[in-house]
Structure 1
Amino acid sequence: MSVNIELVKEISLNYRGMVNETIVIDHVFIDSRNEVVNGLFIPIVGERFDGHSFIKDALKKGAVASLWEEGKSLPEDLDKNFPIFYVKDTLKALEDLAKKYLQLVAPKVIGVTGSNGKTSTKDLIDAVLSTTFKTHKTAGNYNNHIGLPLTILAMPNDCEVAILEMGMNHFGEISFLSKIAEPNLAIITNIGESHIEQLGSREGISKAKLEIVDGLRKDGILIIDGDEPLLNFTQNFKILKCGYDDHNDFQITNVGQTADETNFMINDKHTFKLRLLGKHNIKNSTYAIAVGKYLGLNEHTIQIGLASCVLTGMRMEKKQGVNGSTIINDAYNSSPTSMKAAIETIKQLENFNKRILVLGDMYELGKDEEMLHRSVADAISTPITHVFTIGELGKWIAEALLEQNNDKIEISSYKHKDELKENLLPLLDHGSIVLIKASRGMKLETIAKDLYS
């Protein structure tokens, strides 16, 4: 990327130092520990820190200019020629700069939100569209009020399609992000239980996710999970529905899965293949298919993109385990909906005589957290053979299973990961598949790594 210095002038009140058109800004950064070349430093003020305190560190790391909150004192020994652009609020200035840069580059913008599957859907869309266009996507989980502007400002000048993930914890956040991005296409992957503690109900979650239309352009299109009743509504813009039910515009049919490949059809006409597991990833890929078709790609090109997709780590990530076993690391995050979907995937895979679940705590579920954990047991039945739970909340899954009195499944609960691994390892052989899933805070990837061959 290269942000024109004139854009920085536009969002500033005034400036000092050697400011001229020869200043080149190749990076915008907020962390003074990051090494950059030709960087614009934006000091953010947080509850426990003030980025203005680190201006000299940023200078050493490659800053060639900085924004600065009006009224704050500059270090006395700061080079008088160093360009400083004064603004009322550095966070607001970051957002304004991102919006102006986005308008200047003018790519097609695709906004992606949802309770689960945002990152996977973003990766799938990028894989499909990068066959034809110069794309740019959200890195990692840079999907909030700071991450989204930084993602935009990292976009190459020749970007043709920007794929922007939008996350949230509270009402109003998606609306705010959507108004910065002004998407041509907006996608709601699903409505789950994530952040139900803050939003009160799945209806509240649906309302919050639908805020993505607040910045949708007048000729924009909303793409939704057509199987979700909470998204059954009418608006003044075009809506495309994706899913398994027969009323969907992109209906998924004829699904087949192995441990190595998933294949399915859209509207009984076109066959697609994925190197990914899970019916939820089929639906995520359908959003990518819908976007590809909207932007003029044919089915062959879309398939090439889907086949090349590699998801961001710890999302149904398949690895070979010890003694020839198969490990599915889905430990990045979890909700009851996504946990049940992952369990269904393990149940459907053939040629495994031991299907083992390692399930942990799920956070931010509010007052119904026990009921929601216990509801996961409804998805657990043969051919699942073993269930290991870990954590104070995860044990509710085991308790609900034991109450069902299914003596065909071996069930055990643990407080400590080492004890769990000690009892799990002897079960692993070429006929074993293990699913590992919990909320991010449980860090169950530490278990997964010890099971890899």
Structure 2
Amino acid sequence: MQIDQLYDIYKAFPKVVTDTRHIAVDSIFFALKGANFNGNAFADQAIAAGAKYVVIDEPQYQKGDHYIVVEDVLSTLQHLAKYHRSHLNIPVIGVTGTNGKTTTKELLHAVLSQKYKTYSTVGNLNNHIGVPLTLLSINNSYEIAIVEMGANHVGEIALLSDIAQPTHGLITNVGKAHLEGFGSFEGVKKTKGELYDFLQENDGTLFLQSDNVELLEMANARTFNKIVRYGFSDQNDVTGKLLYANPYLSISWKMKDTTPIYELTTRLTGSYNIENLLAAIAVGLHFEVSPIPVNMGIEGYIPKNNRSQITKTAKNTIIADFYNANASSMSAALDNMRVLEAEHKVVILGDMFEMGEDAYAEHKKIIELAKSLRLDRLIFVGEEFYAQREPEGEYYRTTEEAKSAIPTIENSFILLKASRGMAFEKLLEQL
């Protein structure tokens, strides 16, 4: 079957699923394979659950005209998404970065939705499967789209850019994350920079935090016809200033060569989020959203999914920030604790995953930074932290072990920060 023929089927039945638990009536099921599963084996189940068609790549599972056999299901899904993208005559904003890309994506959505019917990546569908699913969820009623792109290996952002074909893009920052896959910090910069490469080659518009040394260096190594700059110094098109971050973030901002200064108060915590706010402001203004609606969109945004999210319980106030963690985001979260005003401050930190050969050194740096804050309690959880335990602080091998220590914490401002695999929601339940 040619891609245009498959596209005709998709247009007639535009609901695409890859999990039989989420089959919708008249959907198309793509039978993906993984290390421990073979979607082809679930083709019959998908049809029985209501799927109109199943796309498979093992002919022995074919049982009729509604079983479409292709050479490779994943590449077919990606090819179909790219083909669909070519039929969408709308701006597509690609967002990547080490930290803050999901928060930035959601802030962009909040701002652009003030004027346009906007589609953005749902949850964290930002990889080689998620990006195609995102694109195939966009229909002709949408006026603009935001596609989050994640990676943990060199070449992945290039692949996702080729599929999503962004007309605009931004990198939030580059830091030490997924070093196991990238090999080094230079590998991180090379991979994230693949979005810049695509924009350069396709005359796209770059949104640049031009006070970020690494991002500025990466941009200057390429040629762009259209750059919108944001940051903290006066040469930017949008300039911002921190007003307050205790605990919620308030900023002022202005446009270049204009006199009005705007202020806004968010439901986000963490001064590190100011760059994400300025990105959303810059993008909104570029797409002619007026300043007041820009502020309205941002002020109405409520973070979720344990990203810079303040949670108040009967006993404590908690910064729930354990969706993910790496060396740069952990440092930023600790620096934020330094400026927060509270009588009792506690940090509970869990291991950072996928740090490769840098794991020992990076966890050591975090221990030293946490000690410098002079907080009421320092609690470290996970094998990496436990391997270098010191007299100062409390150390536990696992999250389950740490649960025994935390019920005694009361009337405190607590940072919960760890990689997702540490399952810190178990600790949140007891605080």
Equivalences for residues 11-22 of structure 1 within 5 A: none
Please state how far the C-alpha of 1:273 moved relative to its aligned partner: 2.2
Partners of 1:421 and 1:266 in 2: CA distance: 46
Q: Over residues 28-68 of structure 1, what are the superposed CA-to-partner deviations in whole Å (9 max), with x where a residue is unaligned?
A: 11222323021012222334433222211010122112334
Q: Distance in 1 between matches of 2:301 and 2:389?
A: 35
- 1:332 corresponds, among 323, 331, 337, to 323
Name the counterpart of 1:149: 132
Letter in 2 for 1:330: D
Change (3 A) 1:91 1:143: same
Structure 1 pair 362–281 and aligned structure 2 pair: CA distance change class (3 A): same
SS in 2 for 1:274: strand
1:309 is aligned to 2:309: no
CA distance in structure 1 between the aligned counterparts of 2:406 and 2:233, rounded to whole angstroms: 39
1:435 aligns with 2:379: no
1-structure distance, mates of 2:387, 2:150: 28
What is the rounded CA distance, in whole Å, between the counterparts of 1:446 and 1:41 in structure 2? 34
Contact 1:373–1:396 (Cα < 8 Å) also in 2: no
- Superimposed CA distance per residue, residues 380-439 of structure 1 (whole angstroms, 9 cap, x where no aligned partner): 33463221111121246763xx6xxxxxxx62212243553443332312xx10000011
Question: What are the superposed Cα offsets for residues 86-118 of structure 1, whole Å, 9 maximum, x if unpaired?
Answer: 433222211121112222232210111111111
Aligned counterparts, 1:71-110, within 5 A? 72-75=59-62, 78=63, 80=64, 82-110=65-93
1:223 matched to 2:213? The reply is: no
Match of 2:313 in 1: 321
Name the TM-score, length of structure 2 as normaliser: 0.90
**What letter is aligned with 1:59?**
I
**In structure 2, distance between residues paired with 1:440 and 1:99:** 30
Measured on the aligned residues, the alpha-carbon RMSD in Å equals 2.5
Name the SS of the counterpart of 1:450 in structure 2: coil
- Equivalent of 1:364, from 354, 365, 376? 354
Q: Are 2:116 and 1:116 aligned?
A: no
Partner of 2:285: 293
The residue type equivalent to 1:9 in the other structure is Q
Which of 374, 380, 387 pairs up with 1:389? 380
Task: Give the direction of change, closer, same or farther, for the CA distance of 1:358–1:129 in structure 2 (3 Å limit).
Answer: same
Distance 1:395 1:240, change over 3 A: farther
Which residue in 2 is equivalent to 1:275? 267
| Mapped partners of 2:104, 2:56: distance in 1 | 37
SS at match of 2:21: coil
Alpha-carbon separation, structure 2, partners of 1:61 and 1:167: 32
The corresponding residue for 1:9 is: 5
Bigger mean CA offset, 209-218 vs 272-281? 209-218
CA distance in 2, matches of 1:197, 1:326: 34
Letter in 1 for 2:397: K
Against the structure 1 CA distance between its residues 259 and 151, is the aligned structure 2 distance closer, same or farther, given a 3 Å change threshold?
same
- Name the CA distance, whole Å, in 2 between partners of 1:426 and 1:10: 59
Greater mean alpha carbon deviation, residues 282-291 or residues 390-399: 390-399
Deviation at 1:300, TM superposition (A): 0.5
1:129 Cα deviation after fit: 0.8
Question: Given the alignment, which residue of 27, 41, 64 partners 2:29?
Answer: 41
Deviates more, 1:377-386 or 1:307-316: 377-386
Task: Measure, in 1, the Cα distance between the counterparts of 2:70 and 2:266.
Answer: 48
Gaps of 5+ in 1: 13-18, 403-409
| Aligned partner letter, 1:300 | I
Q: Identity of counterpart residues, as a percentage?
A: 34
TM-score of the superposed pair, with normalisation by structure 1: 0.86
Q: Which amino acid aligns with 2:78?
A: E
Confirm whether residue 211 of structure 1 aligns to residue 198 of structure 2.
no
Any conservation in 1 of the 2:7–2:84 contact (CA below 8 Å)?
no
Q: Tell me by how many angstroms 1:219 deviates.
A: 3.4
The match for 1:341 among 332, 337, 353 is 332
